[in-house]
Amino acid sequence: MDPESRTADSPLTVAGSSEESGTTITEPSGDPERLVALVVGACVLMMCVAYLPSVVNLFGTPRKPIGFAVAGCGLVLLVRLVCRRDKAAIAFAALIGWSFLSAVMSSTPLLSLFAGPSLDQGWIYLVVYAGWWAVGRNLRPAARRAVGAALVAGAMANVGLAVVQALSAGGFGILDFTHGRSMGFLGNPVHLGAFLAGSFALIAVVAHRTTRQWWMALPVIAAIGVGLNLSGSRIALVSAFVVPAVPLLLSRRLRSAAILAALVAGLLLGGVLLPGESGSSRVSGGDAAGGLAPRVETWKAGFDAFTERPVLGWGPGRYAEATTSRTTLRQAQTSDPSSIYDNAHNFVVDQLVTTGVIGLGLLGAFTLLAARRARGPYAYFAAAIGLTWLFEPVTMYTAPLLMIAFGLAAPRLEQTEETESISEGTGRTRRLTMLASVGVVVGLIASTPYVVAAFYLQRTTGSKYDDRALDGAKVAGRLFPFDPDTVSAEGTVRTWRALVQPSAANVEAAIEAREHVISLDPTSGISWGQLAFTRSFIGRPDDATTRKVRDEYLEALERIPWSAPALQGLYSAAVKLGDKAEARKWADELCLIDRCPKPASKGASSPGSRPATQVTNTSGADGTVGDGGG
């Protein structure tokens, strides 16, 4: 059969053939297989649309139980693949082992291994992604089709919410409209763009190859075009056109033209709906260079950090530790000088810095071994998202979806006695199913601290200082005593309490809470800035206290050069101390990053006049709220 005339595993349910055999699958599936298909499809759909109010990170937190549970099952299947000498699985298992060693040998082993509830980085997430790939590698036809249907349904749900977000021009919670760009259910516009780019590639290839009713995909493609433009993601827009270009241009060119026309029509409609800057206008405008320049600077810092620890790296999830002290003036000038890069926004650079040259080599080996036989729509879905990872972070929003698709893109395991599917219910496969079920339970248990901590951290957001907020911060801190971001929530609550109720006991408790955070990770410029902020703005500090504040801001600036909050704090301290030369020095440096201070009089600043102190990360994951970063 002509490979261009046969249908692929269809996410549109208009075709259902096995690409390996080239024959249409029409026989009914057994009950176990239907159950597996239903569960896997539901999990994939939930990863596309999960949303949970009353927690910090409204979109990221609910994905963790689902992601960890599926990964628990997948790790059992990964071990099975390794035992059967699957080369890609062996490479991934070796990467997990090497990354574990890198984490253990880092300056903060627990943080590198498990991260905290505010970020989705660290060794444990690599394990999760491996599990999702192994699940995809082992799925049978019914489940393969269910995954595709779930991805398409998830894409349409995200487009629908993106349109609502754009028309409402923003709001709180699910209607958040970040920087004039829709984010759908994916917590950040760049993740929405990446997911929709992958969805377009998948649907376009299916529509191009199917022999019947291919035109039914055109409205879906147009809707994806709307969502792509509403996301404002430049790299996603480029990826959507580049990745499926080869199969679309080689044959059936009239059909390909119709597919591309539908996408362009959607993009134009999205441009009409978007009140801010669209993805297409950002590509054509001068802003494109502005987005690349800070990335190039952080990549340079990453290569510099790599030369310091070329073998083991700095540890998974420790990119910020490796690079923030290498922040350049150009990086501060071309990006927000109140932000830091928690990862490289390039998975190659990130892997090189965090796990060293061996870790990058193992990742490359896995990718090549898994990709060499990858075929079909799922391969294009994975490739389209993967291309965006050259400029955007790898996160829980898109990585599990890419990995399960990457597994599905490989030829399905032959259903022989030696390689039975998990959905078959006899013999040793029953034992495998039992182990996989245990893995699901273990995954759910492992995810519980992240969800519980996020629930309690929600109590601390905003200017809250009551007992409920303090109790929430304490519970979260006990769950993640090694994570400075989580533990700092108590310092934030106590700082607000000391500002509103400036008793000696409250002031002392706030200072002690900030100092405890520094003891967890002295390399964190953010923690030093938070301590200086707290000491500066509670009570009425005398000159001796102001000198301490100055020294702490200097510690922050040493760890994050050109940090706007640190420079602003140093300028304020110099003004309070009456040191005009120092004040002029810091004012000049602030002007270099376009943060020239207004003239200030000597004396204690009021809370309403404090400098901009919120430090954000650029990882694409929502972070906990805190004051006075570095």
Same domain, 437 and 486: no
pLDDT over threshold 90, residue 443: yes
Position 539 scores a pLDDT of 66
* CATH code for position 587: 1.25.40.10
Confidence of residue 427 (pLDDT cuts 50, 70, 90): low
Confidence of residue 579 (pLDDT cuts 50, 70, 90): very high
Helix (H) or strand (E) holding 339: strand 339-340
DSSP state string for 530-576: HHHHHHHHSS---HHHHHHHHHHHHHHHHHSTT-HHHHHHHHHHHHH
Is 3 within a domain? Answer: no
The stretch 221-228 carries a mean pLDDT of 97
Same domain, 471 and 358: no
Same domain, 488 and 430: no
Same domain, 327 and 207: yes
Token couple for 317: 């999830």
Same domain, 260 and 172: yes
The stretch 473-492 carries a mean pLDDT of 95
pLDDT over threshold 80, residue 282: no
Range of the domain at 481: 461-617
The model's pLDDT over 556-565, given as tens digits with 9 standing for 90+, comes to 999 999 999 9
Please state which of the ranges 85-99, 194-208, 515-529, 605-619 shows the lowest mean pLDDT: 605-619
Token couple for 375: 């075929």
Rg, Å, the chain Cα set: 26
Same domain, 135 and 169: yes
DSSP state string for 180-197: G---TTTTSHHHHHHHHH
- Count CB atoms within 10 A of the CB of residue 461: 14
What is the rounded CA–CA span in Å between residue 45 and residue 429? 26
Token couple for 205: 């290839």
pLDDT over threshold 80, residue 8: no
Confidence of residue 338 (pLDDT cuts 50, 70, 90): confident
Measured in degrees and rounded to the nearest 5, phi and psi for residue 502 equal -75, 60
Cα angle vertex 133, ends 402, 17, to 5°? 80
DSSP state string for 117-155: TT---SHHHHHHHHHHHHHHHH--HHHHHHHHHHHHHHH
% the chain with pLDDT above 70: 84
Same domain, 206 and 71: yes
pLDDT over threshold 80, residue 540: no
Pick from 391, 415, 445: which residue ends a domain? 445
Position 364 scores a pLDDT of 98
The stretch 451-471 carries a mean pLDDT of 89
Position 405 scores a pLDDT of 98
Is 350 within a domain? Answer: yes
Strand, helix or coil for residue 252? coil
Pick from 415, 445, 475: which residue ends a domain? 445
Residue 605: DSSP 8-state = P
Position 57 scores a pLDDT of 82
Strand, helix or coil for residue 158? helix
Pick from 379, 413, 445: which residue ends a domain? 445
pLDDT over threshold 50, residue 419: no
Is 318 within a domain? Answer: yes
Token couple for 59: 């979109």
Strand, helix or coil for residue 269? helix
Strand, helix or coil for residue 615? coil
Strand, helix or coil for residue 340? strand
pLDDT over threshold 90, residue 290: no
pLDDT over threshold 50, residue 438: yes
Contacting residues for 252 by C-beta, under 8 A, at least 6 apart: 4, 208
Token couple for 493: 């609550």
Using alpha carbons, select from 125, 60, 165, 624 the residue that is nearest to residue 397.
60
Same domain, 487 and 408: no
Same domain, 122 and 158: yes
Cα 324 to Cα 169, 305, 558: the distances in Å are 34, 10, 9
pLDDT over threshold 80, residue 600: no
What is the rounded CA–CA span in Å between residue 210 and residue 14? 8
Between 11 and 218, the more confident residue is 218
Same domain, 366 and 467: no
How many domains does the chain fold into? 2
Same domain, 406 and 552: no
Cα 159 to Cα 155, 165, 231, 235, 615: the distances in Å are 6, 10, 9, 18, 30
Same domain, 376 and 501: no
Position 28 scores a pLDDT of 42
pLDDT over threshold 80, residue 587: yes
The model's pLDDT over 128-174, given as tens digits with 9 standing for 90+, comes to 999 999 999 999 999 999 999 999 999 999 999 999 999 887 677 78
Measured in degrees and rounded to the nearest 5, phi and psi for residue 61 equal -60, -50
Between 314 and 605, the more confident residue is 314
Position 30 scores a pLDDT of 58
Length of the chain: 630
Token couple for 328: 């350049």
Helix (H) or strand (E) holding 38: helix 31-49
Token couple for 543: 């000159």
Contacting residues for 493 by C-beta, under 8 A, at least 6 apart: 460, 464, 465, 469, 470, 473
> What is the chain's mean pLDDT, rounded?
85
